[in-house]
Structure 1
Amino acid sequence: MKVLVVGFSKTGTKTMNSALRILGYSIYDYEDNFYYLRNDWIKILTKGGTKEDFYRMYKNVDASMDIPVVIFWEEILEAFPDCKLIFMRRKDEEDWIKSWEKQAKSVADNYLMKLLSCFSPTAYSIMQYSHHVGRIAFGARPHRWYEAYQGISPTVAKKRYRDHNTSVLTRAPKDQVIEFTLSEGWDPLCKFLGKPIPEVEFPHRNKGASLLDDYLKENPVFLQMKKEMKIILTLFVGLLSIAGYFYFK
């Protein structure tokens, strides 16, 4: 692990994901942590983990971000003491909670996500995983995975966000952390990471809560869910057709 993004969810993590990929880093974001490390994370969230666990999980990954990683930034830093930290925050917590609630609503209102939850084993697995993550991150009640933590207490959510920011600002090693604003672009980020400035514009992802559309089109985990749904629906329709044939015959 070379870089840990310690800005909380909805502070520009998807933009940072794209920026770090352009700079050549391999990334574990929320969906990657679920897909490859969900059993490890469920163990950590329910039974506990060690520095050795975090080292084993991330020794072959360049960078990671989003929940639950961001909540355990100090434990991961202990496993990777030379890791550089990138911290982002929104202009205030009211701006942050509005962005969070908008993202949650965009997911909960999507009918394809509801279908996936019924006909994809991977989607069912992420529901179980998100129960644990939501409980630790926001004190959230169990929920259907496509609800994306909708219905969490805004008072609790803002406190978790506020406490996280305070923790990073007061406890992170000053020579290993940058407080970064996305509008600053490549220059300060590349200087901090020791990377040349790319010959492409700095990316901007998930504007207006567009993340879901992007994920459904291109993310490997979501493409896997769609593939599973198509297979199961095809089998389901086939079985209904066969049953109908013999019934009416």
Structure 2
Amino acid sequence: MAAKHPEMYMEDPNLHRCKSGRVVPMQVLSLGMPRTGTASMKEALQILGYNDCYHFFDLFSNIQDCDMWMAAHTAKFDGQGKFGRAEWDKLLGHCMAITDAPGCSFGPELIEAYPEAKVILVERDIEAWYKSFSIIIDVIFNPAFSIGRLVASLDPFWAGRVQGLQRRWMADVLNATTLETAHAAARDRYRAHSAEVRKITPKDRLLEYELGSGWEPLCNFLGKEVPNVPFPRINEAAALRERMGGG
């Protein structure tokens, strides 16, 4: 019987991205917050030929990536070290597109690093988004999901790295270190994030995409023909619970 999430059972290739470089052009930055259909957008962009499209779930197939993402957080939020175009090319040099966290929290840096890339901001009804995003908060902070944290403590190399990056993302992006503060900050941070992307992106490079709009607005923006397949719809919530020990 095939594994439900095969990337969790593959042998880690142990790729140290710091030794890599850009091999394909970065063409699309999808900078919407997590839980705005980012897994579906990843699949859609890859159907359109943007291979690879980096998503949070890609961490599971090369856990060493967590280290460079942590370095990016340290550079941006602590002012320690440097993370510019050269570093992004090492971490994301194999990718033509990116979506989801942790990349979405580096909108200004990625837009500056890749001025030729087009930018997508996926919008979702804020209450529907909050209900969905609450799953991430619960997975990271809620005692009901303590099994995941136990696994992380017993496996610092793999699960510990992923959960460490998740908590760092919450602390930096939501200024949250507890279940309560994360829930309290979520809606305001969603609004602020969307406003920032709109403000810093040149209008001719930005598509404000409403979740559920299908292929046409995306393909028109990217100059691609509409594929003869349905627009992907991936249930990220169930996948995230399973990956991070929530059921």
Change (3 A) 1:110 1:43: closer
Match of 1:184, SS state, is coil
Instruction: Please provide the CA RMSD for this pair.
Output: 2.7
Supply the AA of the counterpart residue of 1:20: L
- Residue 152 of structure 2: which of 114, 117, 120 is its match? 117
Indicate conservation of the 8 Å contact 1:84/1:177, yes or no: yes
Paired with 1:165 and 1:2, the residues of 2 have a C-alpha distance of 20
Equivalent residue of 2:164, what SS?
helix
Aligned length: 208
**Contact 2:170/2:182 (8 A) holds in 1:** no
* Identical-pair percentage: 31
Paired residues of 1:55 and 1:76 also in contact (CA < 8 A): no
Separation in 2 of the partners of 1:174 and 1:130? 31
Unmatched tracts of structure 2, length 5 or more: 1-25, 75-79
Larger Rg: 1
Rounded Cα–Cα distance in structure 1 between residues aligned with 2:218 and 2:96: 16
* Structure-2 residue corresponding to 1:129: 165
Which whole-Å CA distance do the structure 2 matches of 1:152 and 1:3 have between them? 32
Q: TM-score, normalised by structure 2?
A: 0.73
* Residue type at the aligned position of 1:160: R
Q: What are the residue-to-residue correspondences of 1:1-249 with 2, within 5 Å?
A: 1-25=26-50, 26-33=52-59, 35-46=63-74, 47-48=80-81, 49-92=83-126, 94-105=127-138, 113=148, 116-117=151-152, 119-120=154-155, 121-141=157-177, 150-206=179-235, 209-212=237-240, 216=243
Which amino acid in 2 is paired with 1:4? L
- The code of the aligned residue for 1:27 comes to C
1:195-229 Cα distance to aligned partner (Å, 9 max, x none): 2222211111127x32336x65xxxxx8xx9xxxx
Q: State how far apart, in whole Å, the 2-side matches of 1:50 and 1:103 are.
A: 28
Task: Give the Å deviation of 1:119.
Answer: 4.6
Structure with the higher fraction of residues in helix conformation: 1
Unaligned 5+ segments in structure 1 are 143-149, 217-221, 226-249
Query: What TM-score, normalized by structure 1, do the two folds share?
Result: 0.72
Specify the SS of the correspondent of 2:100.
coil
The list of structure 1 runs, each at least 4 consecutive aligned residues, that deviate by more than 6 angstroms after superposition, is: none
Instruction: Indicate the SS of the match to 2:134.
Output: helix
In structure 1, distance between residues paired with 2:135 and 2:148: 16
Q: SS state of the match for residue 88, structure 1?
A: strand
